[in-house]
A and B are shown apart, each in its own frame.
Chain A
Amino acid sequence: CKHRSHISKYIFVVSWYMIFNLTELLLFHRQEIMKWNGWGYNDSKFIYNKNGQAEFTGKRYRLSGMIIPGLRDWMESTFGATVQHKTPATPVLNTSAVQPPTLNEAFVEGIKSTGIPFSHDPEDRVFRSHGHCLHEIFPLREGKVGRVPDMVVWPKCHNDVVKTVELACKHNVCLIPFGGGTSVSSALECPPEETRSIVSLDTSQMNRVLWIDEKNLTAHVEAGIIGQDLERLLNESGYCTGHEPDSMEFSSLGGWVATRASGMKKNIYGNIEDLVVHIKMVTPRGVIEKSCQGPRMSTGPDVHHFILGSEGTLGVVTEVTMKIRPVPEYQKYGSVVFPNFEQGVACLREVARQRCAPASIRLMDNEQFQFGHALKPQVSSIFTSFLDGLKKFYITKFKGFDPSRLCVATLLFEGDREKVLQHEKQVYDIAAKFGGLAAGEDNGQRGYMLTFVIAYLRDLGMDYFVIGESFETSVPWDRVLDICRNVKARIVQECKDRGVQFQPLSTCRVTQTYDAGACVYFYFAFNYRGLSDPLHVYAQVEHAAREEILANGGSLSHHHGVGKLRKEWMRETVSDVGLGMLKSVKDYVDPNNIFGNRNLL
């Protein structure tokens, strides 16, 4: 099989999952392989080994088992976080800290009679009570547990969901759909004011690819499937969706639809709204779906857009028909170093103007470049380190780049070999006009790796008094530089004003390009030693940063969604009338607020 031979070349992340069993993430008790109070797999984490060097454990990732010599110094110099000051997490969940469930007996009886698996085991419930916002993870590390769902159900197919929703309506219980649990908008938090029994509807058992239509290049998939499983299953047939959000190891198709997700390679494949052809969703009013699979329709406002971004407030997405593409023949990473961020942004803007963006193009600022540098694994040969030294000398001394100002763009090209090489040349030619120097495939690849390990790094930070998070926005081109500068400066100022004792890390990257603007991604972290209520300080700074984003013409969110974390700004974002429209849909579809996660509105 021709395609099969390319699969191993296919994006490196995916290739590492291959060795693992597909069913791994389909476990009812995901906490058996995943952290209950941190990110990702139990076996994968950053630690300081007995030599005091940073190391990434496990076998799953390319970085696994490697020593990262620069990380400890970077942690110390960036945050002042030293190994002496440790804040380890509670290793095991103390189940007695979990409130006993408030069960709706009639509903439980109903579920029992349908045969749909369910549980009210504390560990199952806690695992589904949160996403990955700092204020959700931080208390868990201290063993503190708030309101959690009272029960978890695992419907196995669309019909199971229909039955579950009917029962929920009949017995007035609150349903919160749960996909991959990677939310960063407080969307999964149980509303504290909710007095009904809360049932977490875990979609993980709905994970089949139901059919692949090679004539129309579509696949019909159950919405509970996790990103990496979907890609792997399609790859077996020589296809892919090309939808690769940074969370794709753990996030689900239904979750993507519910949050309007965006993938790294959207320049080729599009964002989730461009990828879906058909959606089936179960609501308290019944099932909503379109009658055909026409590629575009003029039939009034697109009802898919009530579903896309509904964040679990209207119902459960059960099945989706998605576009698929043949797995690309060839893939190549690349990187370009610019003398400063301004030049880099100008280059990205030009690339977007000429509509020649590669599958992915990202521009990291100087801080993030240095961060990426600190994550370089130990090099085995003297020759490599000699080459590295030479490169550095060439860029800083010969080309006169200021190491404290230069920044790097990472690139990913995809397609048939010839076109990729042609495309690559076109992009490098544009970059050269903005003073950009090609800086090799390794740097590019490492840049993308950063995306997947950053969430693991946060856990390391939290072991040593460092808390942080990422947030994003989208903004017109002419505002990109201003928003990056102002938001970063605002973070630094707010930290200072609120008594943070150490210089915070405040960094950004332009992570997606569009015709009319870009998506900007910020990382923000600080050492909270000396603060009595770090979470509160953190929340205030994050709030201020969002205010700054809005004041600089940025959007409330590009792809993370609104959840409960950002809903205070919804009215000004979509106007009174806009909010009223959304409310009236909610009132019609779910008058009794069965889908009561209280996101968005």
Chain B
Amino acid sequence: MASRAVYVHRDPMLKKRDDFEDILEERRHSSDLRYALKCYTPVLYKGLSPCRASELKSMVLQSDQLQYVINQVSKEMGRTAEEVQAEASTILDEMAHRLQISTVRFFAFTLSKIFKTLFRSICVNEEGIQRLQQAIHEHPVILLPSHRSYMDFLLMSYVLYTYDLSVPVIAAGMDFMGMKIVGEMLRMSGAFFIRRSFGGDKLYWAVFSEYVQIMVKSGFAPVEFFLEGTRSRTAKSLTPKLGLLNIVIDPFLKGEVFDISLVPVSISYERVLEEALYARELLGVPKPKESTSGLFKARKVLSEDYGSIHIYFGQPVSVRALAEGKVNRCQFNLTPRHIPRKPGEEIQSFVNDLAYRLVRSQEENMVLTPWVLLAFLLLQNQAVGNERGMSLDELTEQAAWVRDLSRQFGAFLHWPDQLPPSKVVSSSLSLHRGLVRISDGRVQLALGQEMPHSAMTSEEELLNRAVIILSCASYRNQALHLFIRPALLAVAIQAASSNKKQEVYNSFSFLWNMFSNEFILCPGAAVQDFEEACYLLVKSGALQISQQEILVSGRGHRTLAFLANILDPFLEGYQMVCRFLYEATEGLTEKQFVPAVRKFIIKHLLTGRLRYAEVLSSDLQKNALAALLRLGAVQKLKGGEEQGALKVNKVIVNSLEDTLGGKLPTQKALVARL
């Protein structure tokens, strides 16, 4: 129970963060060509066994690990070892990068030109760069940037080149390979390509993991990949994928390297290039296949202003230090280390904790712009049905209030304090003029009802509005990590049947559990999160907490209302998914789920019974389904004709819906069953 938990509070206000330097500044004043041709002598790993990219391939193919799997596969499939070896070689050819410095220089030149047009500045924390340089010298380094845009990995390599650090090798999705020339260019700048899914393919997995591990062990170059697996379309961090993380820390666990440094990198965009694309994708317009010609069509983006980018290189995390006392490395003593085996429970839970920790540290170091805070206010205002929007003064006053609150919660806020708040607000609004409309000194989201289009169906009109709302929500989402724990507590206080701490915790724990696919909530850390939320809200003066009770203070109501509002769209969305599943016909499959639930929600939205167009987000719908599957309210049938069919436990789904809607108290029985 919460009160018994030992939780050391860290005051988020005290978190020291580094200063930034704009690397485009110098590019605007000196020759890009000279920059691209500069003398480039990065610091190398001290234990580096030097080898060229081409030599990696034979090292992989000759490794004990791969040879073992080749023999195994050849026995199982009744094929000759040579055939399997040849297949492994083909896989490797498809996968391998061909990092060469000339291509890096080419990119350095081209990207300089592009970045200068697109962005006002690219700000990097130099101390982070220094720490990284040190880390690269000491141990193999894994770079773990957040993933919000295709730009991310180009940017990373660009920044590292600029600071004379080794450019990384990057795990990229196979989809880039479709772009013929670009794919090859990326390969030569250090990208290696992996298939999106290769679940059962033992050989593929072996080639892949050995390839990555050889690069890690030899210190060939920093290895970069995205913990979130794919670009987050919502700007919320995604639940981390563990596969690659498992692979890269394996050499440490097996004693093949002394330590590995994991470096979380937070890349925050003031405006994301893919902004509208993402919203459409979430609403069901399929993602266009990456193609070179498509990229050129994207030229029109070049004419727009995308503001600034902040890149924060976090504190390197020592795997050795974190594994101390958590993983018994002796477990590898009794079998040859080249024989592949599934990681045991101890390692799985270690890697899982590690991954969450890293994603949280990415989140914490994301730079938030004032616009992100405005997005909260504009969305909340829109949701209460305020047709006329807010006056600029009102918005400014509220923005200043949210600014102070977020700072108390430890936000890494890039708010120019030297300017008057009204200036800050209006300049933020002007950068995002595609999303907001200002008329007669009043601000609201640009939902397009200005010029009603007779030819548009009401459904099309709804989707158009939703594009704007989801785009705006993607900015709000950048700061969700800051508010999520207090917000869960705020809703829990509303929902709890009394102000007893235990009751509130029960309610909190229910919500926490429900939403742990939606937000980054470390598994098993409900109690810590509760304590953290309590701590933040007490500190900000919203709550008073005694041994037994939680009381809302006078000025706390505004805070709690604001926080609870944040969760509203999600509560409504999850309820709708529950309702849909409750009413769904037998035999619904997972594949059909998203289109069907979308149709169902559109119907309800059109009748005006729902407040939040955001519930149309397929991301939210998928997360809700994943949560229900996890909680056992829905089961996925395996095998037979019903392959992939969803079996719904209507009683649970119904009661979950009621609980989420506040109609039912979070009964102990239900919580216990979950």
Chain A interface residues toward B at CB < 8 A = 478-479, 482-483, 485-486, 489-490, 550-553, 572
Please give the distance in Å from B337's CB to the nearest CB on chain A: 7
With contacts A478-B336, A550-B330, A553-B333 taken as known, whether A489 is within 8 angstroms of B258 at the C-beta atoms is: yes
| Complexed CA–CA distance, A552 and B257 (Å) | 11
B401 on the A face (CB < 8 A): no
Please give the distance in Å from B325's CB to the nearest CB on chain A: 11
B329 on the A face (CB < 8 A): yes
Contact B329 A482 (CB under 8 A): no
Q: List 7 A-B contacts (CB under 8 A).
A: A479-B255, A482-B256, A485-B47, A486-B255, A489-B258, A490-B258, A553-B332
Nearest 3 pairs of A and B residues by beta carbon: A551-B329, A489-B258, A553-B333
Residue from the list B47, B259, B328, B330 in contact with A553, Cβ < 8 A? B330
A residues less than 8 Å from B259 (CB atoms): 489
| Given A482-B254, A551-B330, A553-B333, 4 more pairs with CB closer than 8 A | A483-B255, A550-B330, A551-B328, A553-B330
- Chain B, Cβ-Cβ closest to A553: B333
- Chain A, Cβ-Cβ closest to B253: A551
B residues less than 8 Å from A489 (CB atoms): 258-259
| Complexed CA–CA distance, A485 and B328 (Å) | 19
| Complexed CA–CA distance, A485 and B256 (Å) | 9
- Chain B, Cβ-Cβ closest to A490: B258
Contact B330 A486 (CB under 8 A): no
With contacts A478-B336, A478-B337, A572-B330 taken as known, whether A553 is within 8 angstroms of B255 at the C-beta atoms is: yes
| Complexed CA–CA distance, A572 and B47 (Å) | 32
| Complexed CA–CA distance, A572 and B256 (Å) | 22
Most interface-central of A490, A553, A572 (chain B CB within 10 A): A553
B residues less than 8 Å from A551 (CB atoms): 255, 328-330
A residues less than 8 Å from B328 (CB atoms): 551
- B224-262 interface code vs A (CB 8 A; 1 in, 0 out): 000000000000000000000000000000111011000
- Chain B, Cβ-Cβ closest to A481: B256
Most interface-central of B259, B330, B333 (chain A CB within 10 A): B333
A residues less than 8 Å from B258 (CB atoms): 485-486, 489-490
B residues less than 8 Å from A486 (CB atoms): 255, 258
A residues less than 8 Å from B332 (CB atoms): 553
A residues less than 8 Å from B255 (CB atoms): 479, 482-483, 486, 551-553
- Chain A, Cβ-Cβ closest to B334: A553
Please give the distance in Å from A284's CB to the nearest CB on chain B: 36
A residues less than 8 Å from B336 (CB atoms): 478
CB within 8 Å of A: which of B368-387? none
Please give the distance in Å from B315's CB to the nearest CB on chain A: 17
A residues less than 8 Å from B329 (CB atoms): 551-552
A residues less than 8 Å from B330 (CB atoms): 550-551, 553, 572
Q: In the complex, how many residues of chain B place their beta carbon closer than 8 angstroms to a beta carbon of chain A?
A: 13
| Complexed CA–CA distance, A485 and B255 (Å) | 9
B residues less than 8 Å from A478 (CB atoms): 336-337
| Complexed CA–CA distance, A486 and B259 (Å) | 9
| Complexed CA–CA distance, A485 and B46 (Å) | 12
| Complexed CA–CA distance, A307 and B441 (Å) | 96
| Complexed CA–CA distance, A483 and B255 (Å) | 7
Please give the distance in Å from B258's CB to the nearest CB on chain A: 4
CB within 8 Å of A: which of B330-363? 330, 332-333, 336-337
B residues less than 8 Å from A572 (CB atoms): 330
- Chain A, Cβ-Cβ closest to B323: A551
Most interface-central of A483, A485, A551 (chain B CB within 10 A): A551
Please give the distance in Å from B589's CB to the nearest CB on chain A: 47
| Complexed CA–CA distance, A482 and B338 (Å) | 14
A residues less than 8 Å from B47 (CB atoms): 485
CB within 8 Å of A: which of B256-282? 256, 258-259
| Complexed CA–CA distance, A479 and B334 (Å) | 12
B residues less than 8 Å from A550 (CB atoms): 330
| Complexed CA–CA distance, A1 and B255 (Å) | 55
| Complexed CA–CA distance, A478 and B329 (Å) | 16
Most interface-central of A482, A483, A490 (chain B CB within 10 A): A482
CB within 8 Å of A: which of B500-549? none
Please give the distance in Å from B611's CB to the nearest CB on chain A: 56
Please give the distance in Å from A221's CB to the nearest CB on chain B: 38
A residues less than 8 Å from B256 (CB atoms): 482
- Chain B, Cβ-Cβ closest to A340: B49
| Complexed CA–CA distance, A478 and B64 (Å) | 11
A residues less than 8 Å from B337 (CB atoms): 478
- Chain A, Cβ-Cβ closest to B327: A551
| Complexed CA–CA distance, A463 and B155 (Å) | 57
- Chain A, Cβ-Cβ closest to B336: A478
A residues less than 8 Å from B333 (CB atoms): 553
Please give the distance in Å from B324's CB to the nearest CB on chain A: 10
Most interface-central of B47, B258, B332, B337 (chain A CB within 10 A): B258
B residues less than 8 Å from A483 (CB atoms): 255
B residues less than 8 Å from A490 (CB atoms): 258
Please give the distance in Å from A395's CB to the nearest CB on chain B: 21
Most interface-central of A478, A486, A572 (chain B CB within 10 A): A486
- Chain A, Cβ-Cβ closest to B337: A478
- Chain B, Cβ-Cβ closest to A485: B258
| Complexed CA–CA distance, A490 and B259 (Å) | 10
| Complexed CA–CA distance, A340 and B328 (Å) | 31
- Chain A, Cβ-Cβ closest to B47: A485
Please give the distance in Å from A174's CB to the nearest CB on chain B: 35
B residues less than 8 Å from A485 (CB atoms): 47, 258
| Complexed CA–CA distance, A457 and B650 (Å) | 80
- Chain B, Cβ-Cβ closest to A554: B333
| Complexed CA–CA distance, A478 and B255 (Å) | 11
- Chain B, Cβ-Cβ closest to A488: B258
Please give the distance in Å from B134's CB to the nearest CB on chain A: 14
| Complexed CA–CA distance, A552 and B337 (Å) | 11
- Chain A, Cβ-Cβ closest to B49: A342
A residues less than 8 Å from B254 (CB atoms): 482
| Complexed CA–CA distance, A572 and B331 (Å) | 12
B residues less than 8 Å from A479 (CB atoms): 255
Please give the distance in Å from B62's CB to the nearest CB on chain A: 14
CB within 8 Å of A: which of B293-336? 328-330, 332-333, 336
| Complexed CA–CA distance, A403 and B239 (Å) | 50
Please give the distance in Å from B135's CB to the nearest CB on chain A: 14
Please give the distance in Å from A475's CB to the nearest CB on chain B: 10
- B587-616 interface code vs A (CB 8 A; 1 in, 0 out): 000000000000000000000000000000
Please give the distance in Å from A478's CB to the nearest CB on chain B: 7
Most interface-central of A479, A483, A572 (chain B CB within 10 A): A479
| Complexed CA–CA distance, A486 and B319 (Å) | 14
B residues less than 8 Å from A482 (CB atoms): 254-256
Please give the distance in Å from B330's CB to the nearest CB on chain A: 6
Please give the distance in Å from B29's CB to the nearest CB on chain A: 42
| Complexed CA–CA distance, A490 and B47 (Å) | 15
- Chain B, Cβ-Cβ closest to A551: B329
Please give the distance in Å from B554's CB to the nearest CB on chain A: 49
Please give the distance in Å from B78's CB to the nearest CB on chain A: 30
Please give the distance in Å from B64's CB to the nearest CB on chain A: 8
| Complexed CA–CA distance, A572 and B259 (Å) | 24
| Complexed CA–CA distance, A572 and B334 (Å) | 13
| Complexed CA–CA distance, A482 and B329 (Å) | 13
CB within 8 Å of A: which of B383-430? none
- Chain B, Cβ-Cβ closest to A482: B255
| Complexed CA–CA distance, A485 and B219 (Å) | 15
Please give the distance in Å from B139's CB to the nearest CB on chain A: 9
Please give the distance in Å from B566's CB to the nearest CB on chain A: 43
| Complexed CA–CA distance, A485 and B330 (Å) | 17
- Chain B, Cβ-Cβ closest to A342: B49
- Chain A, Cβ-Cβ closest to B256: A482
B residues less than 8 Å from A552 (CB atoms): 255, 329
